[in-house]
Each structure stands twice: as structure tokens, then as C-alpha cells.
Structure 1
Amino acid sequence: MSNVLALMRHDIRRAMHSVMAVIVLFGLVVIPSLFTWFNVIASWNPFDNTRNLTVAVANTDEGYQSDLIPIRLNVGEQVVSALRANDDLNWVITSEDEAIDGTRSGEYYAAIVLPSTFSADMMTFYTSGADRTRIDYYLNEKKNALAPKVTAQGASEVSTSINEVFTETLSEAGMNIITSLSDYLDDADTQAALSRLQARAESVATQLRAGAGTADMFTSLIASSRPLVDSASGLVSASGDALSDARDALGGGKDATASLQNVLSSTTAALEDALKQTSDSYQSVSDSIDDVFATLNSQSESAAGTLHAIAERVQVQIDQQQHLRDGLVNDVRPLLPEGTLDAFDAAVSRIDAAIARQQALQDRLAEAATGVTDSNAASQATRGEIEQLTAQAKTAVDDARRSYTESLRPKLDALASTLASISGGVDAIGEDLSSAAGSLTGASSTGSALANAQTLTSGISETLTDTADRFDQLAAALTMAIDTGDLGELTALIGSDAHALAAHLAEPVELTRVPVYSVVSFGAAMTPLYTVLALWVGALLTSVAIRVDPPRNGSTGLPELSPTETYLGRFGIFALVGFLQGSLVSLGSVLFTQVQPQHPFLLILAGWLASFVFTLIIYTLVVTFGNAGKALAVLVLVMQISGSGGAYPLQVLPQWFQNISPFLPATHAIGAMRSAIAGIYQNDYWVSIGWLLAFAVPALLLGLVLRRPFIRSNQKMLAALRSTKLM
């Protein structure tokens, strides 16, 4: 370590004892500062001087006058007037030929030409098939690389200004027409025009209110429809229940009509069969009674049992006929038309009479069975009575059957046929109800759609009503203007300052810029890039001006030095020059160019560390590779100019530059200086400093270890260059 320090002191003494060495070292220290300061001052705020860029403007607009409103408008003249008051660029108003030729010759950086149909195109933009209004923009890209971009920005501002002027002109023209009506109120034609306008306003208001009423009607209709839709399923279900009730009333079955048909068919057939069988059975009853009484003396008990059995058979027939009779009265009669009721009631009365005769027979048979064993003579008397009752019952049943068959049966058969045709229709009704119930299963979505429609129609009604109120106000104002000649009401509607309102309509939104990390100027923002490039160039010039090869032993009075001691000892003079370069550049940025950093000391510290790392890298390359190392340092410098992100955002550069940017020391040095100037966010300054110092590790590894194999070959290359007497 003592040998390293001794070599450092030796180099410093030799530099201080030579005037020429002091001058060279002074130049090495000052040149990076001059590079930085000149570039920062030159780019301090170039966009404030864009007024010196000359842009020609040629207005060939012929203006526009509508057939409806006899007011001539010339938007081009208003644009030219607005540009005369604009000092962002040096606007020169000239002819079209002069503007184009001046741009070609370089007299103007760009030219803007407004076409002859400019106003007409803008004022008829709403017509069907109209194209967007166009202006011609000529620019000279040969004269300067950046000027076309600046003038293009100016042209964009012109386009924006034209849009604002057009909106303002259109609004102001429309409102000035109203505010200037008082100048024409004394004219008879004007009075007539105002009267027509007032009538039209009232008509429009009436139509709007009618539309609002229609919308209200739809709203009410929809509101009424919503509960109908909500209860539709219930209604269908209720209909199904009603049909079911009808089926029950008709005696059950699939549906009401089918049930009635079945009842009629089964009842008529069953009743006729029952009456016929009953009539036939009474003959067998009469025969049985004869047999019973014939054997009465020998078989009293058996005869009594037989009489009981006959009585039971008669009772069964009575019950069956009573059941059929009740079914006819209770189930069929309520459903019959009025024309068949008389015949029906007559047939039922005959059936009632037959049932009464049979009941009398049954009662007498029961009594005969009880008393058959008491007295044979009495039994024989009873026999005659029973036979008479049997004959009467048979006669009554036959009369009921004839009355039913000849009178009621034909009418019931006709009614059954009619009901058969009705049954198909009722089936179709049931299917329709089922289909309706299925279609209304989505009643919730239908109800939601109706709710949305109700809200929409309600909003339409409110909007139409509000618009109608405005037209009513306009009509009232026009009426007052016609009657009194006073346009105060109209003025109150649009405001007293039509120009101010038109300007607000042209530019309703104002942009407020809120800087997050503010810098004093564009040049201050470019200071990190110019500082880093200056320090790299300063380190490269130092490696060119100061020898990196070790002093020869014996000529300096120093002991023999190892390659490591020579590397570290000779780096001392380089580090000192780099420290002075970094100090002067950083102090000059704070005190001379006044970039106004948020953290002045951190800016100076970043300058020191950047200079140290740059000097170490370049010194190591030159020590290891000789002149080839200087070429490598220049190559790295070229890559760092664009790849470090100092001027353009990395995202707009080719992908290759974005990939190599993290591996360039200038990238991290620029990041640290930007944080010191504009402000630190979450220790980003110290993160950048850490990555910057990390580049010293591979440089030291190359200089202390990996360069040893290159020492002998490097010495041979230097000897070969000296032998040329040229290098």
C-alpha cells in the first residue's frame, strides 16, 4: 500500500512542477464543465423562442352567406385575426403562391393555406354527404430537424384554434341574430317574420306538450300493464280452476263439456236399460211370487226367505232408479237449455211415479214375508195384493220408460251431439290457457322491461315538457317584442354578452397543469444528460492526455512495483482529475446555470461518484487494451448518448436500446441526478447510486486480475506502434 501512495505522490509532484502539465490538467478539468454549461444554457428554454420561427399563412377563403340568414361569414378572416394576436410562432400573412414558394426556398419553416371554400365547408358541415373541412400544411424538413416538429405543433394549435373560432363564430352568429333583432323591429317584414316565428314557437310548444301527454299516456298504460303481467299467471291458473270447478259441477271428467256429454250418454243409456230391465224383472218377480205362494203350505219358511229376497231385489232396483233420477235432476237439469226442461220434468215425474209404485211393492213384499207363516189364507189374500202391486209397478215402469224414450231421450241425444262439438272447442280453450300460462312464466323479465320502458317514457315526458316550457318562454318573449319592441326577454334568455357565451361554448373545458416533479426549465431537465456525457468525455480525454503505462524502474527513485501497485498507484492522478471535473461541473450547475436542484449536495455527490466510476472504467480499458480500450470507451459513449434515456424516453426507442439501457453506467448516473434535481421518490436516488457503483466491481476485476495475460501482448503492440514513427 505504501508503494501505491508513493506512486501517487510522485505523479502529483511531477504534474505540479511542470507549467505545461498544469495547463493541460486545467484544460482537462474545465472542458467537461464548458461542454455541460454551454449545452444547458443553449437549451434552457428553446420553446419560449418559437416566435422566431417564421410560418406563412395564406387565406383564400371567399366567405359564406346562407339563403336563410342574410349574414356573410368569413371564418378564414377570423382565423387570420386570431393568428395576428398569437405570438407562439412568427406568423406571416401572405398569398398562396408566396407561402408555398417561401417554404421551398427556406424563407419559411412551414406554410398554412386556407382554401377558398373554407367558410362554406365549415358552415355546411351538417349537410348530408359533407366531408371534413381540410387545410393544406406545407413544411420544410430540410432546413432543420427539430423545426418541423415545432411548427407541426404550431399547426396543430392552428387547427385547434380554427375549431374554437368556428364554434365561437357559429354560436356568436346565431345569438347575435337574436340580440340584433331590435334593429329590424320597425320594419313591416320583420314584424311579419316575428309573428310567424312566435306562432311557430307556440305551435312547437303545443306539439311538444302533446308529445309529453302521449308519453304520459304510455307511462300510465305501462304502469297499468305491469300488474296485469304480474297477475297473468294467476289469471290463467284461476281459469284452469274455473274449468275444474265446471268439470266437478258436471259430475267429473276431463273437462266440463266432455263430462256433460258423458253424463248425458251414460245417463240416457243407463236409464233406458235400467227401466227396461226393471220392467222385465217385474215379470220374473210376478212368476217368483206365484211359485212362492204355490209352495206356501209346504215351505213357509223358505217362502218367507224368497219373499225377502224378492223385496231386496225390488229395493235394489228402486235405489238404482233413485240414483239415476237424482243424477238427472242434480247434474243434468242445471245444464239443459230452457226448451228441454218441460219434457225433462215430465219424464222425471213418471220416474218418480214408478219409484213410488216399486216402493209400495217392496213394502208389501216385506210385510208378506213377515206374515207368510201366520196364516195361509191371509197369505193368499196378500198374494193377490202383491200381484196387483207388481202389475202396477211394471205398468208405472213401462210408462216411465215410454215417456223417457219417446219424449226426453231424443232431446238429450241431440244435446249430447251438440256438446260433443263444443267439447273440441273447450279443449282448444284449455290448450290456449296452458300456452298462455307457459308464455307468461317469464313475467318477471317482461315486468322488468315494462319498468324500464316506464322510466324511459317518464323521462321523455319530462324532457318534452321542459322543452315546451322553453318554447313557451320564447313565444312570450317574441310576443312582448312584437307588442313593445323590447328584446329584453330574448336577451335574458341568451345572456347579455353573446361573445362571452360563444367563447365559453367554443372552449368549455380548461386544462390545469399540475406538475408532480417540477424543474425550472427545459435546460435544467437536460442537465443530467449533458453532465454525464461531459464527465465521460472528460475521463476519455484524461486517458488520452495522461500516460497509463508504469514508470520505468530506477528512473523515478521508486522501488520495483507489482502490476497491482502500478494499476492502483497510477489511477490516483486519474481519480484526482475526475474529482475536480465532477466538482466543477456540479457546482457550476448549482451556482452558475442555476438549475435549482431540490437536493444540491446530492447532485454534487452524484457528480463525484459518476466521475469516479467513469474514470475507473475508461482507465481500466486503456490499461488493459491500450488504444483499443480508448476505442471501446468511445463506442460505449456512442451507445450511452441514446441508450441512457437522457433525451428521449426509452419506450419510444427501438427495443435493442431498451434492452441494453440497464447495462450502461450513464443510465443510472442520469437517474440519480434527476432525483437530486426534481425530487426523490422512495429512495430512487440511492438505488441509482448503488447500481452506478456496481459498475466499479467488474472494472476492478478486469484491472487487477483479468488484465495480467494482456500485459506482455499490450507492450509488444505499443512497441510496434512506436516503430512506425507515426503512432
Structure 2
Amino acid sequence: MKNILQVFRHDLRRATSNVMAVIVLFGLVIIPSLFTWFNVMASWNPFENTKNLTVAVANTDEGYQSDLVPIRLNVGEQVQSALRANDDLHWVFTSKEEAIDGTKSGEYYAAIVLPPTFSADMMAFYSNGAERTEIEYYTNEKKNALAPKITEQGAGEVSTTINEVFTEKLSEAGLNIITSLSTYLDDADTQATLSRLQAHVSEVAAQLRAGSATADMFTSLIASSRPLVDSASELATASGDALRGATGALGNGKDAAQSLKDILASTAATLGGALSGTADSYQAVADSVDDVFSSMSAQSQSSADTIRAVAARVQTQIDQQQELRDTLVNDVRPLLPESALDSFDRAVSRIDGAIARQQELHDRLDEAATHITDTDADVQATHAEITGLIAEAKAAVNDAQNAYTGSLQPKLDALAETLAVIGGNIDSIGSDLSSVAESLSGSDSLSTALAGAESLTTDISGSLTETADRFDALAAALTKAIDTGDLSELTKVIGADPRALATHLAEPVSLERVPVFSVVSFGAAMTPLYTVLALWVGALLISVSIRVDPPQGAATELPLLSPTQTYLGRFGIFALVGFLQSTLVCLGSVLFTQVQPEHPFLLILTGWVMSLVFTLIIYTFVVTFGNAGKALAVLMLVVQISSSGGAYPLQVLPQWFQNVSPFLPATHAVNAMRSAIAGIYNNDFWVSLGLLSAFIVPALLLGLVLRLPLIGFNKKLLRALASTKLM
């Protein structure tokens, strides 16, 4: 620390003991202030001087005269009169050719040309198929970047002025026609004109009353529709409840159908397997019976046992088929529709027949086992009878299986699928009915909308009736004026000041501007950007004017220093000059340019932090990278001019600028200074100042740690440049 302070005292003594050094340091301190002050004053309020921008206006309007009112109206002349009293821009009234040529030559920044049919097009606005009236606007975008935007705003004001003048003059002309008719009442043409006007007024009154009657009709229609909608809502609700009940019942039916389908599937598999197995097993029974009868003479008792075993096997199959038959009759048949009962009964009848054949075979086998010792002729007859019974039982089983799988099972499967589809459709219908009921009776329902529409049509009817009454009064006044020449009734109808009424009709709404965080001028709003640029350039000038490597060794007053001591010690003079720069700039903004900040001390504090951060960043760049560091500082300046949001809102800039903006110190410096000038909201000043101060950390990391490996490289680079005798 002692060596660091020694370097700072050495630099300070050398800076103040030499006249040229003092002059240079004075220039370094004053230049950023001059940059900021002059730019702020130059842009203090440029939009107040737009009256010096010359805009040509060429009026080629030929005017318009109505058949109803034989008074010539020229909207273009009225616009010219209004623009002569407008000092927002320097309006020059000339011909169309000169206006266009002057815009091309640069004599005028822009030109506005009113077409010959301007008044006629404006007055035909009520005609069917009428199009918007257009004016020609020429602008010279080569002469200046900002002037076309200002003159375009002026052209927009001209368009607004034309609309206001047109409405005002149209209303004023119509009302003045009525108020000034007394001077023309003795003229025959005037009498005819008044008669036509009275007829038109009466016609308008009749149309208004017809419109009122139409509105009343809609009111009645809506009023009569509301009970229907309410009834429909109740019906939909009741239908929805009923359908939900039906859906529940159908759900049970669907469950039953699914259960039926499961039973059928299980029964089909079991019955099919049983019948198929029975048919296959009867061949084995036949073979066993043949074997038994062929060996019967030798083994009578054994053969009897074998035949009884075959009979037991047949009985087992009979029992299984009887159980399946009972399941079909008891569980499946009650769930079937009428159309499927015939096929079902036929299939059950075939199963019953198969069971009867098998039972007959079983009984005959038992009987054969009992008479196994009969004579050979009787045995062979019994053998033949049993073989026939086996064949009949096998045929009966096959017939039952075919009847079941070929006729009944497809109908049952189709029935289950049909029930599932119907259930899904009814679920959908129930959902739709629920939606309809909700739309008819909810807060945003049709009933509510109809109630609002009824109120609206009632109001419209009342308004139209009131207006029709006024037109009837006007028609009566015109009739009296035609008959007696007295316009007092007209005066009562339209008022004593037609111009005031016309002005109010032309501009019924006024705009009240309420500033939030207001600043004194445009220049004051630009002060943060100019201050940032000035202090960054000031820090760059310091790095150009003052060496970053103090002399060391026995020949100097300073001892040999470490890289850290050299870095921190020499930065002291940089920080001091930057402190003086920021102090002078901010004090001048408060006292000289009269920015009128909301928080003067915070403005000065922002300048101090800004100068410290900017000076440290640029000083570190130069210490680390040499001359390349100065170039890097210039590059950062270029990027920050656009990306800091000091002039244009970030939202209107390309996306890349918006992405890089939060990582630039100038962004947070501008935000902090804006808060100090215009006012603080939710501690945004301290947040911005903290983010700005955070850039000190990476700068110190680069200067104290990351630059150490580059020291040798920089020395070699400097020696190489010095050897060129050019750099």
C-alpha cells in the first residue's frame, strides 16, 4: 500500500509542477464538459423551431356548389386560411409545379397539393360508394434525416386541420344559411331555396321518425323474444336434466351391453371350445369303443370298466354343455332385444338337441357295460348301435356349434357395438344441450344480450324522436319564415352563435396532456446520453495523454514495483482526473444548462460512479492490451451509442442491440441519470447505480489477474512497433 500511495504522490507532484502538464490536464477536464453542454443546449428544444422548416402548399381546388343551397364552398381556401394562422411550420403557398420542383431542389422540405376536385370530393362524403378524399404529399428525404419525420408530422396535422376545417365550415355554412336567410327573403330565388330547404328538413324529420319507429319495432321484437329465449333456456335445462337421466340409464345399458358382450365372448370361447373339443373327443370315444368290443371276449370285466369310463367322459361333456346352456338362458337372454330372440332360441334348441343325443349315448354305454357278457351277436349289435349314437352325438354337437357361431353370435356383437355408438352420441347430445342451456342463461347469455339490445334500441328510439322533434321545429320555423319573413324561430332553434356551434361540432373532444416524470426540455432528456459519451471520451483521452507504466528503478524516485502496485498506483491519477471531469460536467448540467434535476446530488453521484467505472475499464484495457486496448475502448463506445437506449427506445432497435444492451455499462449509467433527473420509481436509481458499479469487478479481475500472462507479450509487441520507427 505504501508503494501505491508513493506512485500516486509522485504522479500528482509531476502533474502540478510543470506548466504544460497543468495545461494538458486542464484540457482533459474541460473537454467532456464542453461536449455535454454544447450538445444539450443545441438540442434543448428543437421542435419549437420547426416553424423554420419550409413546406409548400399548392391549392388547385375549384370549389363546390350544391343544388340544394346555391352557395359556393371552397374547402381548399378555408384550409389555406387556417394554415396561414398556423406557425408550426413555415407554410409557403404557391403553384403545384413550383411546389413539386422546389421540393426536388431542396428549397422546400416538403410539399402538399390539394387536388382540383378537393371540395367536391369532400362534399360527396355522404354519397353511396364515396371514397376517402386524398391529398398529395411530397417530401425530400435527401436533405435531412429528421426533417422528413417532422414535416410528415406537419402533414398529419394538415390532414387533421382539413378534417376539422371541413366539419366546422360545413356546419357553419349550413347554420349561417339559416341565420342569414332574412336578407334574401324578398328574392324569388331565395324563397324557392327556402322552400326546398324546408322540404328537405321535413323529409329528414320524417326519416328520423321512421327510424324511431323502426327502433321501436326492434324494441318490441326483442321484448317479445326474451320470453321465448327464457323458455328455451328452461326447456334446454329440463332437456339437459332429462338427457342426463337418460344418459345415466343408457350408461347402465351400456354397462349391461358390455357385460353381455363379455359374457358372450367368454361363453363363445368356452362353448366353442367345449363343442369343438366334444366333437374331437367323440372320435376318441369311437376308437375306445371299437377297441373295447374287439377285446371283449378276452377281458370282459376290464372292457366293462373301460366302457363305463367312456360313459363318464361323455357325462362330463354333457354337464359342461348343460352349464353353458343354462348361462345363456338365464344371463344372456333377458338382456337381448326382441329381434335377437328367435336366433337365440334356435341356437339353444340345437344345444338342447346335442345334449339329448349325448345323454342317449351315455345311457346306452352304461347299458352296454352292464351286458358286456352277452352273446357275440348281441355284443356286435350293441357295438353298432353305440357307434351310430356316437356319430349322431358328434353331428348334433357340430350343428349346435354352427347355429351359435353362424347366427346368434354376430347379432349379439353388432348389438353391443350399436349400443356403444348410441351411448357416445347421446353423451355428445347431452354436452351440446348443456352448452345451449348455459349460453341461454349464463352471465354472457343471449338473454342478457337481448336485454342490453332492448335498452339500446329504446335509447336510440328516444334519441331519434328527440332529433325528429327538433327538425320538426326547424321545419315549422322555416315555414313561418317563408310565410312571414320572421327568422326569430330559427334563431331559437339553432342558437345565436352558429360559429361557436360549428366549432364545437368540428372538435368535440380536447386532449389534456398529463406528464409523468416530466423533464424541462428535450435537451434535458438527452443529457444522460451526452454525459455518458462525454465521460467515456474523457476517460479515453486520459489514456491517450497519460502513460500507464510509471518509470521505476534507481534513476527515478520510485522503487521497483510489482505489476499489482504499478496497476493500482498509476490508476490514482486517472481516477483523479476522471473525478474532476464528472464533477464539472454534472455541476454544469445543474447550474449552467439548467437541466433542473429532481435530485441534484444524485445526479452528481451518478457522474462520479460513472467516471470511476469508465476510467477503470479503459485504463485496464490499455494496461492489458496496449494500443489495442484503446481501439477496444473506441469499439465499445460505438456499440454503446446505439445500444444504451439513450436516444431511441430499445424496443425499436434490432434484436441484437436489445440483447447486448444489459451487458453494457452505458445502459445502466443512462438509466441511473434519468432517474436522478426525472424522479425515482421503486428504487430504480439505486438498482441502476448498483448494476453500473458491478462492472468494477470484471475490470479488476482483468487488471490484477488475467493480464499477468500478457505482460511479456506486450513488451515484445511494443519493442517490435518501436523498431519500425513509425509506431
Deviations, residues 324-357 of structure 1 (Å, cap 9, x unaligned): xxxxxxxxxxxxxxxxxxxxxxxxxxxxxxxxxx
Tell me the equivalent position of 2:169: 169
Q: Distance in 1 between matches of 2:624 and 2:636?
A: 16
Tell me the equivalent position of 1:674: 674
Distance change >3 Å, CA 581–CA 63, structure 1 → 2: same
Tell me the equivalent position of 2:12: 12
Tell me the equivalent position of 1:586: 586
Superposition map of 1:615-654 within 5 A? 615-654=615-654
Q: Distance in 1 between matches of 2:65 and 2:452?
A: 46
Superposition map of 1:450-469 within 5 A? 458-459=458-459, 461-469=461-469
Deviations, residues 51-88 of structure 1 (Å, cap 9, x unaligned): 11111111111111122221111111111111111111
The TM-score, its normalising length taken from structure 2, stands at: 0.67
Is this contact kept in 1: 2:470–2:493, CA < 8 A? no
Is this contact kept in 1: 2:552–2:561, CA < 8 A? no
Distance change >3 Å, CA 5–CA 220, structure 1 → 2: closer
Q: Secondary structure at the match of 1:137?
A: strand
Q: Distance in 2 between matches of 1:567 and 1:228?
A: 90
Tell me the equivalent position of 2:523: 523
What residue identity is the alignment partner of 1:645?
A: G
What is the CA-CA distance between 1:508 and the residue it aligns to? 1.2
Q: Decide which structure has the larger Cα Rg and report it.
A: 1
Distance change >3 Å, CA 557–CA 668, structure 1 → 2: same
Distance change >3 Å, CA 125–CA 205, structure 1 → 2: closer
Q: Secondary structure at the match of 2:515?
A: coil
Deviations, residues 399-450 of structure 1 (Å, cap 9, x unaligned): xxxxxxxxxxxxxxxxxxxxxxxxxxxxxxxxxxxxxxxxxx9999999898
What residue identity is the alignment partner of 1:672?
A: A
Superposition map of 1:129-140 within 5 A? 129-140=129-140
The TM-score, its normalising length taken from structure 1, stands at: 0.67
Tell me the equivalent position of 2:659: 659
Distance change >3 Å, CA 453–CA 141, structure 1 → 2: closer
Superposition map of 1:418-429 within 5 A? none
Tell me the equivalent position of 1:510: 510
What is the CA-CA distance between 1:129 and the residue it aligns to? 2.8
Tell me the equivalent position of 2:146: 146
Q: Secondary structure at the match of 2:129?
A: coil
Distance change >3 Å, CA 561–CA 231, structure 1 → 2: closer
Distance change >3 Å, CA 72–CA 15, structure 1 → 2: same
User: Is it true that 1:97 corresponds to 2:97 in the alignment?
Assistant: yes
Superposition map of 1:242-257 within 5 A? none
Q: Where do 5+ consecutive residues of structure 2 fail to align?
A: 235-435
Q: Distance in 2 between matches of 1:668 and 1:225?
A: 64
Tell me the equivalent position of 2:61: 61
Q: Distance in 2 between matches of 1:233 and 1:506?
A: 47
Q: Distance in 2 between matches of 1:225 and 1:609?
A: 73
Tell me the equivalent position of 2:564: 564
Q: Distance in 1 between matches of 2:474 and 2:571?
A: 90
Superposition map of 1:593-632 within 5 A? 593-632=593-632
Distance change >3 Å, CA 446–CA 688, structure 1 → 2: closer
Q: Distance in 2 between matches of 1:610 and 1:215?
A: 69
Deviations, residues 570-602 of structure 1 (Å, cap 9, x unaligned): 000000000000001001101111101111111
What residue identity is the alignment partner of 1:83?
A: L
User: Is it true that 1:155 corresponds to 2:172 in the alignment?
Assistant: no
What residue identity is the alignment partner of 2:496?
A: S
What residue identity is the alignment partner of 1:512?
A: E
What is the CA-CA distance between 1:96 and the residue it aligns to? 1.2
What is the CA-CA distance between 1:168 and the residue it aligns to? 1.1
Tell me the equivalent position of 2:544: 544
Q: Distance in 1 between matches of 2:220 and 2:601?
A: 77
Distance change >3 Å, CA 459–CA 583, structure 1 → 2: closer
Q: Distance in 1 between matches of 2:448 and 2:148?
A: 59
Superposition map of 1:309-388 within 5 A? none
Superposition map of 1:228-239 within 5 A? none
Q: Secondary structure at the match of 1:725?
A: coil
What is the CA-CA distance between 1:479 and the residue it aligns to? 3.4
Distance change >3 Å, CA 217–CA 535, structure 1 → 2: closer
Tell me the equivalent position of 2:307: none
Is this contact kept in 1: 2:552–2:558, CA < 8 A? no
What residue identity is the alignment partner of 2:6?
A: A
Q: Distance in 1 between matches of 2:725 and 2:222?
A: 106
Deviations, residues 16-43 of structure 1 (Å, cap 9, x unaligned): 1111111111111111111101111110
What residue identity is the alignment partner of 1:594?
A: Q
Q: Distance in 2 between matches of 1:549 and 1:446?
A: 84
Q: Distance in 2 between matches of 1:175 and 1:549?
A: 87
Q: Distance in 1 between matches of 2:58 and 2:233?
A: 75
Q: Distance in 2 between matches of 1:231 and 1:20?
A: 101
Q: Secondary structure at the match of 1:594?
A: coil
Q: Secondary structure at the match of 2:141?
A: coil
* Bigger mean CA deviation after superposition, 219-228 or 675-684: 219-228
What is the CA-CA distance between 1:205 and the residue it aligns to? 5.3
Q: Distance in 2 between matches of 1:669 and 1:105?
A: 43
What residue identity is the alignment partner of 2:72?
A: R
Deviations, residues 620-643 of structure 1 (Å, cap 9, x unaligned): 000000001101000000000000
Tell me the equivalent position of 1:281: none
What is the CA-CA distance between 1:460 and the residue it aligns to? 5.8
Q: Distance in 1 between matches of 2:713 and 2:525?
A: 45
Q: Distance in 1 between matches of 2:469 and 2:49?
A: 54
What is the CA-CA distance between 1:687 and the residue it aligns to? 0.6
Distance change >3 Å, CA 596–CA 566, structure 1 → 2: same
Is this contact kept in 1: 2:68–2:193, CA < 8 A? no
Identity of aligned residues (%): 79
Tell me the equivalent position of 1:127: 127
Deviations, residues 464-509 of structure 1 (Å, cap 9, x unaligned): 5334422331233223323432212212222222112111111111
Q: Distance in 1 between matches of 2:668 and 2:226?
A: 70
Is this contact kept in 1: 2:35–2:530, CA < 8 A? yes
Q: Distance in 2 between matches of 1:230 and 1:517?
A: 54
Q: Distance in 2 between matches of 1:225 and 1:582?
A: 77
User: Is it true that 1:81 corresponds to 2:81 in the alignment?
Assistant: yes
* Bigger mean CA deviation after superposition, 171-180 or 578-587: 171-180
Tell me the equivalent position of 2:27: 27
Distance change >3 Å, CA 718–CA 508, structure 1 → 2: same
Q: Distance in 2 between matches of 1:108 and 1:597?
A: 38
* Bigger mean CA deviation after superposition, 81-90 or 615-624: 81-90
Q: Distance in 2 between matches of 1:641 and 1:613?
A: 17
Superposition map of 1:35-54 within 5 A? 35-54=35-54
What residue identity is the alignment partner of 2:161?
A: S
Distance change >3 Å, CA 139–CA 228, structure 1 → 2: closer
What residue identity is the alignment partner of 2:572?
A: G
What residue identity is the alignment partner of 1:549?
A: D
What residue identity is the alignment partner of 1:65?
A: Q
Tell me the equivalent position of 2:707: 707
Distance change >3 Å, CA 105–CA 460, structure 1 → 2: closer
Is this contact kept in 1: 2:140–2:148, CA < 8 A? yes
What residue identity is the alignment partner of 2:630?
A: K
Q: Distance in 2 between matches of 1:182 and 1:629?
A: 88
